[in-house]
Amino acid sequence: CPSPSDLRSANGTRVCAELYRDDSPYYDQCCAGAALTVEPGSDVPYMPRGWAGTVSSLVVGTRCELVVWSRRGKKGNSRKFGA
């Protein structure tokens, strides 16, 4: 997985988080497969089509916080992730 301070887009701008589909019991093989990028200041009450229930790994950048909910539309229990 990339380190939190290394999260950058292809053009070099800062990224707050990346969520990955593939996981592995071996740490060096985690953060694989398709990736969903979370830009700074994003507020997304629904996961993009095909992503609900499929995230297996995530990395949150420095100075960012990712809040996720157990139910769609920002309902249910929430959990916060940081770098």
Sequence spans of domains, the chain: 17-82
38 close to 16: Cβ distance less than 8 angstroms? yes
Tell how many helices (H) and how many strands (E) occur in the chain.
0, 5
Q: DSSP letter at 29?
A: G
What pLDDT is recorded for position 82?
Answer: 93
Rounded mean pLDDT, 7-20: 88
Rounded mean pLDDT, 36-48: 88
30-36: long-range contacts at Cβ-Cβ below 8 A with a sequence spacing of 24 or more?
30/1, 30/56, 30/57, 31/1, 31/2, 31/57, 31/59, 32/57
Q: DSSP letter at 49?
A: T
What pLDDT is recorded for position 65?
Answer: 94
Q: Is the pLDDT of residue 25 over 80?
A: no
Q: Is the pLDDT of residue 74 over 80?
A: yes
